[in-house]
């Protein structure tokens, strides 16, 4: 490696370090801004469960430190979720100089779409899925049982669901990238649709709690998003072919 190549490589490493530090600082700044409201944030996230609990039932803490650490941990994850646009901006700033102009025009909408879809997945989970799941689970138990969910267990439960739905809603973006890079085609995905349907339910089984209701509520949107991704990828492929023909 020549001296100029070595200096260029070191320069990229320095830039990568600086952008990672900026991304971490963005999470820290948001966290410090929200930590005072940690209990309010937890109360907001726990509201679907509280509304589903039987009369006079409450959440409990089985660990002495749980009343402090559960809201604290949730606030940290919320800060990470809220910082995703800035984190992806740093990723884009690092990758953009090495991209061609047509690649930038392609990737910028995908980057913005990935942010919107991730938040849409979390919102869908909170406003649609959680009330259904929690209402079902709190209603099917034996009548002699007193339901008192642990705040730490509930936190682990909702974080897993938020992450699962946020990632699942990225399916259209993933399909666009796969078709754009030439790894697959829309026709190939259509031909493999039966296998993908089975695979989606298997993935939903691992991403959600071990119950059929949660798996179905995740799998069905994933299948709809898969179909949306095929349609969007098909539209983009036609536009790309037209642009190539015009260029020729």
SS3 141: coil
181, part of any domain: no
221, part of any domain: no
Least confident of 50-54, 73-77, 128-132, 210-214: 210-214
Higher-confidence residue of 93 and 241: namely 93
End-to-end CA gap in the chain:
38
133, part of any domain: yes
The one-character DSSP state at 150 is: B
CA–CA gap between residue 206 and residue 200 (Å, rounded): 10
31, part of any domain: yes
CA angle 43, 44, 50 (to 5 degrees): 65
> Could you tell me what percent of the chain has a pLDDT over 70?
86
77, part of any domain: yes
Instruction: State the pLDDT confidence band at 26, using cuts at 50, 70 and 90.
Output: very high
44, part of any domain: yes
87, part of any domain: yes
- Residue 18 token pair: 């600086």
CA angle 27, 164, 96 (to 5 degrees): 50
The range of the structural domain enclosing residue 9 comes to 1-100+123-146
27, part of any domain: yes
Which pTM was predicted? 0.82
Overall domain count for the chain: 1
| Integer angstrom CA distances of residue 56 from 45, 51, 141, 182, 226 | 19, 11, 16, 58, 43
């Amino acid at each position: 490696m020549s001296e100029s190549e070595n200096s260029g490589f070191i320069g990229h490493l320095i830039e990568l370090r600086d952008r990672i530090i900026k991304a971490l600082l963005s999470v820290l700044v948001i966290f410090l801004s929200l930590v005072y409201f940690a209990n309010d944030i937890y109360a907001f996230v726990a509201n679907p469960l509280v509304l589903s609990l039987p009369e006079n039932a409450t959440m409990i803490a089985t660990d002495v430190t749980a009343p402090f650490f559960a809201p604290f941990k949730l606030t940290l994850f919320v800060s990470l979720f809220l910082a995703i646009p800035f984190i992806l901006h740093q990723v884009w700033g690092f990758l953009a100089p090495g991209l061609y102009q047509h690649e930038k025009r392609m990737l910028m909408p995908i980057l913005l779409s990935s942010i919107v879809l991730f938040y849409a997945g979390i919102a869908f989970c909170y406003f649609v899925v959680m009330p259904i799941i929690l209402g079902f689970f709190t209603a099917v138990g034996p009548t002699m049982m007193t339901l008192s969910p642990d705040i730490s267990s509930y936190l682990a439960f909702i974080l897993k669901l938020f992450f699962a739905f946020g990632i699942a809603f990225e399916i259209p973006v993933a399909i666009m990238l796969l078709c754009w890079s030439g790894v697959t085609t829309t026709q190939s995905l259509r031909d493999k649709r039966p296998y993908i349907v089975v695979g989606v339910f298997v993935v939903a089984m691992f991403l959600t709690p071990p119950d059929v209701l949660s798996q179905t509520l995740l799998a069905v949107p994933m299948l709809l998003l898969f179909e949306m991704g095929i349609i969007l990828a098909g539209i983009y492929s036609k536009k790309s072919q037209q642009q190539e023909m015009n260029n020729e």
